[in-house]
Structure 1
Amino acid sequence: MMMRNRIVAVSYLNTIPFIYGIEHAGIDLYADLLLSPPRGCASLLRDGGAEIALIPVAAVPSIPDIRIVTPFCIGASCSVRTVVLAADSPLDRLDTIYLDSHSLTSVRLVRILASKLWGIRPEWKELKDFSALNAPQPRTGYLIIGDKVFDHEEKFRYRYDLADAWREMTGLPFAFAAWVARSGVDDRTVERLAEALDYGVRHIPEAIACYGYGDRSYAYDYLTRNIDFVFDEQKRRATALYWQEGRKIDPPINPG
């Protein structure tokens, strides 16, 4: 009997076009869909909990026996808006930066930018209690990703968009997450997945309405102006450069 594949994807607003396509394109992927924060997607794939996944690009080199599939990603060619370093002090006055560890890609990206673009050497700590975002500390930055940015972005005097900063440093767009599959996943399944994702990206208004974002005034602009879903050659170049720079970064998070 043929086993069903398991597909895991990110549980954020930026993924709902993909989710809509998988669930509504009318294409039988013979698969079950799971949702998780970015880092959880990589863990599920690594631990055998899924065969196909949308994972942070930082995790791709660390998982054996996978390949990037489909011409789709979660990327940005301009401001991404939902991956930001936020603070009440300017960059050159930051002593500490707390890291939202839900995405290893963003954690490594902010460290690359700190070293190569901004020239700062803060103490890095894990952001464990997100209530800290309601009362920002002086000389302290907070890496915030995902939907929580919409709720907290106006609370900070300074916001540094990481996609903008990467483009300033490299002249390239950025891909935060890519679709990957284990080597045992057949090509026909990959083709069907790409068809489903394409359907979803072409039906963004329907996805917004379907998943309860219809009353969010920012949703459509975000998905059509901030997020770029195409994993093109420039984003592939950016990903290779990011991996190269990431290898120079030590494990970033200190307990406490």
Structure 2
Amino acid sequence: MCGTLSERNGGGCAETASWKCRPFFQWRGGNKREMMIRIGEIAYANSAPIFAALRRMGLADPYEFIPGEPAELNRMLYAGEIDLAPCSSFEYGLHPANYFLIPDLSISSDHEVESVLLISRLPIEDLHGKMILLSPASASSNALIRILLEKRYQAGCAYRFPEEGPHRSGFEADARIMIGNPALKVYLGKNRSRPGYVYDLSLLWRDFTGLPFVFALWIIRREAVLREKEEIARLVQSLYRARGFAESHFHEMAGEFEKALEIPAEDLVRYWESISFDLNEEKIKSLKSYFDYAEELGLIPKSPPLVFFIGA
């Protein structure tokens, strides 16, 4: 476990403190009650404003924050190692009976998202029968590219994950999925050293369906609701407050985070402004379409109903 001096002493962030008084990519220290709610924290720029706002507003103290990539948080949520998190939408599709969704919260994009990319040697129309390298970090994006290639382009591609360890074959795929901060940096530099063909998956989905894409949902384990319903209801209200605060402080946050993220402040502001943190009717319609396609391709057992947490 690690934390700042303020955290180790059980203190909080003063209203005038830096956004980074508790770095969004570290675990939270401090005094814990026996059944502290454990919140998974995506270590990417896309969710940084919400977590930064929680800390800046002094709303983070009752909780433990556990960082990880999306696929890792999916695993931890399913295993009961965390209680709630902004997890891959696909994780809800796989295990809906285990979870509730927080109403009106997501990480979505209406058009380009810039941080979920297909990088290809060939135009996407020419990928029929080719090998696609999936991302070990993202379940939603892996399912999304399969839906797009099979349903929109009828590409009949093969899919695999990258090999790891010293005995890797060195095999290179024809195209690969890249997500998160590395993808955002590639996108921002596309006019200088563009690696082949670069496609934004959110924009491809918009062109295909006419809908936004929901990459992550705020998902709660049902067991946690049974154990801590009142505390979770308070947390949900804190998340709504943090969202509103974050959306009005992007410029200030970007100045604090640009060095840690190695992304210019003006690019961070534009990136955050391109992300939607709500979950409106259009996004719910998109989710249902996504799950329907995933069921058709055998990626999930059944397109699930969306069951929301009541008490927020």
Q: Same fold (TM over 0.5)?
A: yes
Paired position in structure 1 for 2:126: 93
Paired position in structure 1 for 2:179: 145
User: Which of 119, 137, 150 is the aligned partner of 1:115?
Assistant: 150
TM-score under structure 1 length normalisation? 0.86
Paired position in structure 2 for 1:132: none
**Alignment partner of 1:198 is 2:198:** no
**Distance change >3 Å, CA 28–CA 124, structure 1 → 2:** closer
Structure 1 counterpart SS, 2:287: helix
Q: Letter of the 1:246 partner, please give it.
A: A
Q: Which runs of 4+ in 1 moved over 4 A?
A: none
Query: Percent identity over the alignment?
Result: 22
Paired position in structure 2 for 1:248: 296
Matches within 5 A, 1:29-44: 30-44=62-76
**Distance change >3 Å, CA 79–CA 136, structure 1 → 2:** farther
Q: Letter of the 1:165 partner, please give it.
A: L
Paired position in structure 1 for 2:201: 162
**Distance change >3 Å, CA 177–CA 215, structure 1 → 2:** closer
Higher relative contact order (CA 8 A, sep 6+): 1
Q: Letter of the 2:108 partner, please give it.
A: G
Structure 1 counterpart SS, 2:80: coil
Aligned-pair RMSD on alpha carbons? 2.4
Structure 2 unpaired stretches of 5+: 1-32, 165-169, 301-312
Matches within 5 A, 1:170-181: 170-181=209-220
**Alignment partner of 1:50 is 2:82:** yes
Aligned residues: 245
Greater Cα offset, 193-202 or 105-114? 193-202
Please report how far the alpha carbon of residue 115 of structure 1 lies from its aligned counterpart in structure 2 after TM superposition.
1.0
In 2: Cα distance, 1:97 partner to 1:78 partner: 23
Please report how far the alpha carbon of residue 191 of structure 1 lies from its aligned counterpart in structure 2 after TM superposition.
1.6
Please report how far the alpha carbon of residue 251 of structure 1 lies from its aligned counterpart in structure 2 after TM superposition.
5.3
**Distance change >3 Å, CA 92–CA 105, structure 1 → 2:** same
Structure 1 counterpart SS, 2:133: strand
In 2: Cα distance, 1:215 partner to 1:141 partner: 25
Paired position in structure 2 for 1:125: 160
Structure 1 unpaired stretches of 5+: 130-134
In 2: Cα distance, 1:43 partner to 1:172 partner: 28
TM-score under structure 2 length normalisation? 0.72
In 2: Cα distance, 1:192 partner to 1:111 partner: 36
Paired position in structure 1 for 2:267: 218
In 2: Cα distance, 1:246 partner to 1:42 partner: 17
**Alignment partner of 1:188 is 2:241:** no
